[in-house]
Structure 1
Amino acid sequence: MAGHVSPGGFTGTSPVWLREPDDVNALVGSLWPRTATKVDGVLQVGGLSVPEIVANVNTPAFLLDEADFRARARAFRDAFAGCDVYYAGKAFISTAVARWVAEEGLFLDVCSDGELTVALRAGVEPARIGYHGNNKSAMELRRAVHEGVGRIIVDSIVEIDRLADIATQLGVVQPVMVRVTAGVEAHTHEFIATAHEDQKFGFSISSGSAFEAVRQVLAAGSLDLRGLHSHIGSQIFDTSGWEVAARRVLALHARVAAELGHAMPELDLGGGFGIAYTTQDDPADPAVLAEQIIRIVAAECGALGVDVPHLSIEPGRAVVGPAMFTVYTVGTVKEVSLDGGATRTYVSVDGGMSDNIRTALYDADYSCTLASRASDAAPVLARVVGKHCESGDIVVKDEFLPGDVRPGDLVAVPGTGAYGRSMASNYNHALRPPVVAVRDGAARVIVRRETVDDLLATDVG
């Protein structure tokens, strides 16, 4: 942490990457949906004023830029032309969003019966759905097979046996991929780095369990082994990790062909592409990612003397994450004295860890802006916190806001499309916020706010 003295005389403590803005009213364009702008200090999106939008739905609320979402989906689809691009339902799914995914030509990953239900309700073709998860129940697997899900990513020997029996009972041959761990630890938070060995997902390549899992799938007459699936983590900004993973996964791919006589036609290298939450993040363009990853796969296949398999990728948060932001109303503001004579401005809002758990869970960084007016006040270093009864209920750890931020102001936090609403909870019996889609001057609620009746419906008393 570094001490900071502003031109207005303010002293505070900020991370070394955070710089005081020249204009505290301005938006950092890379953090916001493409249609977001400010007019006289008032945040707008999709041609609508944010204060006017939330006046009809209250706060907190998630605002989703439909045009931005669709543009990002198309960017990955076009960059990875000839490959299958799977949207991550776990990042955020609703009936409307699942329809957008299908309309833009993407495939869809689900990892629960609930996500599958939403996808089918939206009319997504079952053959374009992949089913993930390390502990799928027999009920979940039976439904997935019955509905004709295009691929199930198997994650344990127990699951292989369970799925083979279900497929036999239903008289079908179910396409599957085998989830493998390549021993690559991506540069990301420990809890979302999913390819190192000591974790719950997949079969280890280095221990030999992945090869044995492949052997078992091939022995099951009711399963069709399509290929290997690898996922090295999330919020990743370069392709070096994928290069190592591809080398190890494709070596297993070649071994299966040589020793077991099965040329797997597909390969999924996962994704986990990063987005910009703050100015310290610099995500790569989809076209650059595609060129590098496709080149890596082709080079490794050439070195191994095997045909290039049909490639799938999973952009993860990179489609919906930047397309959505959260709007809060400020409730209280207080100055807190820090060591060395510094102070920090605590800005309390009407949401918090019930609608964005990532700061508390992953120590994630976010940005924010005053959304309801312009200000001539000098910037102050602020911490935006929630209303929950937890000291760790922090929304934005460090950001500059106008020094006159006050109760009743609207504060907007970008980059909350992925895992904000989908990981939201009823902690402190909070009501989960709505999601409002905005496009071309029109706004519509696609997920309504919970009500007290919703909250009490499961409380049988």
Structure 2
Amino acid sequence: MKHNNKYERPKIVKQVDGLMNKVGRPALNKPFDKIDNVPVDELISNFGSPLFVFSERTIRNRLNDAKNTFTIRYPDTVFAWSYKTNYLDAILSIMHQEGSLAEVVSEMEYEKARRLGVPGNKIIYNGPCKTRASLERALKEGALIQMDHLDEIAEVEEIAKSMDVKPSVSLRINLDAGIYPQWNRFGFNLESGMAIHAVKRIVLGGILKLTGIHCHIGTFILDPLAYKRAVEKIIAFEKELESKFNLKLTVLNMGGGFASSNTLMNQYLPGDQAAPSFAQYADAITAPLLSVQNSYSRKLILETGRAIIDDAGYLIATVIGTKRLVSGYKSIVIDAGLNLLITALWYKLQILPAQTYKGVVEDTVVYGPLCMNIDCMRDAIPLPDLQKGDKVVIKPVGAYCVTQSWQFIKLRPAVVLIGADGSVDLIRRAETLDDIISAEILPERFKS
């Protein structure tokens, strides 16, 4: 008798569907086959895959929720939309329709705001790298410039002097609010004395009028009390400025940094359970302001981005292929990767099947389409037995994914907006090769 002695390594697959753990059972009870009641299959059929999808209803609801929460506590609150979070014209138009100012950090973003009809006096010009030409335009059009370093102060003074104007400016500061690593790259540090030195420099110059303080303590802040500590330090700083320089500042800009429902890689609880509510952030920021006499003379500005737009964004992708890895894990390749979702490097993005499924749910490695080993969307996420052609919905991806996407190996896809009435508008078409090479110039000697 002939025996086949070839050894075959066993495949052991952990059965997770229905099992309980400290967090709960996997949330795969039914397919995520609709976005705002629009079928995923219909969206892909009309606009192709991959596809970014935004919900106008969610955007407006989130923004108005934030505005109402803060103005109930502190009426003189204004929101400014952080352009870098998402600067598609349709998204910007929604924000401005709802009354948001424009917070920009480059000449490109400034130009975007102006082309959309935002007047200069409704623009906050922030960032560490403002060109001279853009500063001249901002001063001419009445934008509020937030000073980041001494060289910028000197340049703005020089421009203002040549224009014979005395513009109002704001000073960006950084401080220890108990959030580490501390953001001390931007603006002037409070504890080291840099901030008071910068104020003295502006006062002695006699050309600029300091009217406000800007302090953005960090990003994805899960501790609302960090804002309370920051505001208390700023109030004490303002009292020092009033005592030493007779300055009465009228604007306090606390930037952004509010968390969304996303889940950080090192986070135990799901993001929707760990992220503070707008009310918690509002209580922390406004309580110290309300304790100050005549506090309503100070305008509060917030540049909240992620917490408003993140949950309004989705990406639909298609499974291109499947493979069992040598480790025993199942893997899938989808047509969207880090080129579109750079946030997958620090978030546990939800990846949900968009069609009914059967069989065992098992931990699956999800790879993107790039010919790069780092293009991994999730290194282990419970998924059913997805096959080539199946669709998945990835969320939340409304913040930074569109603005930070790039054309490495793959072109960028279309973006659609689902209106409150269920209508679907194309707000950015899919790119073509002509878009990519339109700025290139081929020397004559290379032409055949």
**388 and 7 in structure 1: CA distance in 2 versus 1, 3 angstrom threshold:** closer
1:167 maps to 160
Deviation at 1:406, TM superposition (A): 0.8
1:460 maps to 441
In structure 2, C-alpha distance between the alignment counterparts of 1:394 and 1:273, rounded to whole Å:
27
Report the number of matched residues: 418
Asked if 1:261 is matched to 2:246, the reply is: yes
1:275 alignment partner, one of 249, 255, 260? 260
2:315 alignment partner, one of 307, 326, 336? 326
Deviation at 1:109, TM superposition (A): 0.8
Asked if 1:399 is matched to 2:381, the reply is: yes
Q: Deviations over 1:338-367 (max 9, x none)?
A: 3xxxx322221112111111233xx32211
Q: Secondary structure at the match of 2:350?
A: coil
Q: Deviations over 1:359-386 (max 9, x none)?
A: 33xx322111012x11122211122221
Deviation at 1:7, TM superposition (A): 5.2
Deviation at 1:18, TM superposition (A): 6.6
1:143 alignment partner, one of 111, 123, 137? 137
Deviation at 1:168, TM superposition (A): 2.5
Q: Kindly provide the amino acid, as one letter, of the partner of residue 130 in structure 1.
A: I
Runs of 4 or more, structure 1, over 3 Å off, are 7-10, 16-20, 219-222, 305-308
Q: Secondary structure at the match of 2:249?
A: coil
Q: Secondary structure at the match of 1:177?
A: strand
Over alpha carbons, which structure has the higher Rg?
Answer: 2
2:198 maps to 213
User: Identity over aligned residues, as a percent?
Assistant: 26
Q: Deviations over 1:80-121 (max 9, x none)?
A: 222111221110012222211111122221111111122122
**4 and 107 in structure 1: CA distance in 2 versus 1, 3 angstrom threshold:** farther
Q: Kindly provide the amino acid, as one letter, of the partner of residue 168 in structure 2.
A: P
Superposed, 1:25-424 pairs within 5 Å as: 25-26=29-30, 41=31, 43-81=33-71, 82=75, 83-149=77-143, 151-186=144-179, 195-197=182-184, 200-278=185-263, 280-281=270-271, 282-299=274-291, 301=292, 309-338=298-327, 343-360=328-345, 363-371=346-354, 373-402=355-384, 404-424=385-405
Deviation at 1:9, TM superposition (A): 11
Deviation at 1:4, TM superposition (A): 9.1
In structure 2, C-alpha distance between the alignment counterparts of 1:212 and 1:91, rounded to whole Å:
32
**441 and 354 in structure 1: CA distance in 2 versus 1, 3 angstrom threshold:** same
Q: Deviations over 1:143-186 (max 9, x none)?
A: 2223322x111100000111122223233332211111112353
In structure 2, C-alpha distance between the alignment counterparts of 1:67 and 1:444, rounded to whole Å:
13
Q: Residue 20 of structure 1 contacts residue 400 of structure 1 at CA under 8 Å; is this kept in 2?
A: no
More strand by share: 1
In structure 1, C-alpha distance between the alignment counterparts of 2:306 and 2:438, rounded to whole Å:
32
**458 and 121 in structure 1: CA distance in 2 versus 1, 3 angstrom threshold:** same
**175 and 8 in structure 1: CA distance in 2 versus 1, 3 angstrom threshold:** closer
Deviation at 1:19, TM superposition (A): 5.1
**454 and 17 in structure 1: CA distance in 2 versus 1, 3 angstrom threshold:** farther
In structure 2, C-alpha distance between the alignment counterparts of 1:239 and 1:57, rounded to whole Å:
40
In structure 2, C-alpha distance between the alignment counterparts of 1:397 and 1:90, rounded to whole Å:
28
1:29 maps to none
1:445 alignment partner, one of 401, 426, 429? 426
Q: Residue 94 of structure 1 contacts residue 118 of structure 1 at CA under 8 Å; is this kept in 2?
A: no
Deviation at 1:222, TM superposition (A): 3.9
**85 and 135 in structure 1: CA distance in 2 versus 1, 3 angstrom threshold:** same
Q: Secondary structure at the match of 1:80?
A: helix
Structure 2, unmatched stretches of 5+, are 1-11, 264-268, 443-448
In structure 1, C-alpha distance between the alignment counterparts of 2:329 and 2:25, rounded to whole Å:
14
1:426 maps to 407
In structure 1, C-alpha distance between the alignment counterparts of 2:96 and 2:214, rounded to whole Å:
22
**186 and 433 in structure 1: CA distance in 2 versus 1, 3 angstrom threshold:** farther
In structure 1, C-alpha distance between the alignment counterparts of 2:262 and 2:79, rounded to whole Å:
23
Q: Kindly provide the amino acid, as one letter, of the partner of residue 359 in structure 2.
A: A
In structure 2, C-alpha distance between the alignment counterparts of 1:219 and 1:17, rounded to whole Å:
61
Q: Secondary structure at the match of 1:354?
A: coil
**173 and 50 in structure 1: CA distance in 2 versus 1, 3 angstrom threshold:** farther
Deviation at 1:221, TM superposition (A): 4.0
Q: Secondary structure at the match of 1:271?
A: coil
Deviation at 1:450, TM superposition (A): 1.4
Q: Secondary structure at the match of 1:249?
A: helix
In structure 1, C-alpha distance between the alignment counterparts of 2:435 and 2:142, rounded to whole Å:
33
Deviation at 1:451, TM superposition (A): 1.0
In structure 2, C-alpha distance between the alignment counterparts of 1:438 and 1:17, rounded to whole Å:
37
Q: Residue 231 of structure 2 contacts residue 289 of structure 2 at CA under 8 Å; is this kept in 1?
A: yes
Q: Kindly provide the amino acid, as one letter, of the partner of residue 208 in structure 1.
A: G
In structure 2, C-alpha distance between the alignment counterparts of 1:285 and 1:9, rounded to whole Å:
30
**144 and 308 in structure 1: CA distance in 2 versus 1, 3 angstrom threshold:** closer
**348 and 127 in structure 1: CA distance in 2 versus 1, 3 angstrom threshold:** same
Q: Secondary structure at the match of 1:210?
A: helix
In structure 2, C-alpha distance between the alignment counterparts of 1:311 and 1:270, rounded to whole Å:
10
Q: Please provide the CA RMSD for this pair.
A: 2.4
Q: Deviations over 1:219-277 (max 9, x none)?
A: 34442212111111111123121122122222211111111111111111222000112
Q: Kindly provide the amino acid, as one letter, of the partner of residue 97 in structure 1.
A: I
**159 and 392 in structure 1: CA distance in 2 versus 1, 3 angstrom threshold:** same
Q: Kindly provide the amino acid, as one letter, of the partner of residue 433 in structure 1.
A: P
Q: Kindly provide the amino acid, as one letter, of the partner of residue 137 in structure 1.
A: T
Q: TM-score, normalised by structure 2?
A: 0.87
